[in-house]
Amino acid sequence: MFLLCSAYVHLPRLPLQPFHFNATYTQGWASGTIEFGNITLGSLQVSNQIFGYATNSERVGLSAFRSSGMLGLCFRKVANVHFSAPVLLENILSAFDEEDRYFAFSLGGPRGLNSISI
């Protein structure tokens, strides 16, 4: 599962070589480079987040929603891109004390694919 992201501030990456990704879904695909940046999801701002900057895609809705990239909604052990940077859930949860790490995502729904509530 992935989440589209549209507002981000690019951060310089340390390696000189770009890292590429290819993601294939039941319907559609996307490819591009792995980036690090500060992103905005609704009213939530996430710092130093790794995401896929999609330069090519088909049937995943990136251009329809003017999205810049894709965020994987998974934990590190099941991610298919292996970096030392935290995945989205780890990054969001790190802002809270351990006993307060409860949240819910509401993705998609009748209002359209770009709908998100956190």
Residue 59, pLDDT score? 80
Rounded distance, CA 108 to CA 116, Å?
Answer: 7
Name the percent of the chain in helix, strand, coil, to the closest 5.
10, 40, 50
Residue 29's pLDDT band (cuts 50, 70, 90): confident
Query: With contact defined as beta carbons under 8 Å apart, do 15 and 53 qualify?
Result: no
Lowest average pLDDT, out of 9-13, 38-42, 60-64, 84-88, goes to 9-13
pLDDT tens-place string over residues 54-79: 888 888 777 666 666 666 656 666 55
Q: Residue 35's closest CA among 79, 81, 75, 66?
A: 81
Rounded distance, CA 37 to CA 43, Å?
Answer: 16
2-117 architecture in CATH? Beta Barrel (2.40)
Would you kindly state where each structural domain of the chain is located, as residue ranges? 2-117
> How large a percentage of the chain has pLDDT more than 70?
52
Residue 22 to residues 26, 47, 65: CA-CA distances in angstroms?
A: 14, 24, 20
Query: With contact defined as beta carbons under 8 Å apart, do 39 and 49 qualify?
Result: yes
Q: What is the total residue count of the chain?
A: 118
Element (H, E) at 90: helix 88-93
What is the rounded average pLDDT of the residues 13-24?
Answer: 68
What is the rounded average pLDDT of the residues 25-46?
Answer: 80
**pLDDT of 99 above 80:** yes
Taking all residues of the chain, what is their mean pLDDT, rounded to a whole number? 69
